Amino acid sequence: MECKRVEQDHKREMMGVHDAMDVLSGKWKIPIISSICYYSERRFSDILNDVPGISNKMLSKELKELEVNELIKRTVLDTQPVTVQYVLTDHGKTLKTIIENLTSWGIEHRKKIMGK
């Protein structure tokens, strides 16, 4: 019976990894979340400047997906010209520790691989 429970727990954990990767997949979502997380609120152009190589069209697409998954909130401000601001939702803020750990790991990995 214990073996069966361990197997069920493992399947649930693997499904959790699959679900997380499905939401955060691709080359852009984590850097976008990181940009918003670091500054707490960002305009479209700020994120565009923070994430090297991303196009306007791709950033717009990724932001929409993050909004659908309730990780960010988009607010249109009544300014001239219109300004759009993005913040992490409470649900999105739960990724902060993951982003910080991933950042630290990436820095250490670069040092190990590059020898610096």
Q: Cβ of 39: how many Cβ atoms within 10 Å?
A: 14
pLDDT above 90 (res 107): yes
pLDDT tier at 49, thresholds 50, 70, 90: very high
Please choose, from the candidates 94, 40, 97, 88, the residue with its C-alpha nearest in 3D space to the C-alpha of residue 63. Answer: 88
pLDDT digits (tens, 9 = 90+) for 76-91: 988 888 889 999 999 9
pLDDT digits (tens, 9 = 90+) for 8-46: 888 889 999 999 998 998 999 999 999 999 888 999 999
pLDDT above 80 (res 5): no
pTM: 0.85
Assess contact for 89 and 71: CB atoms under 8 A: yes
pLDDT of residue 9: 84
Assess contact for 51 and 60: CB atoms under 8 A: no
Going from the N-terminus, what domains does the chain have, and what CATH number goes with each?
2-114 (1.10.10.10)
Q: Cβ of 41: how many Cβ atoms within 10 Å?
A: 12
Query: Which amino acid makes up residue 50?
Result: D
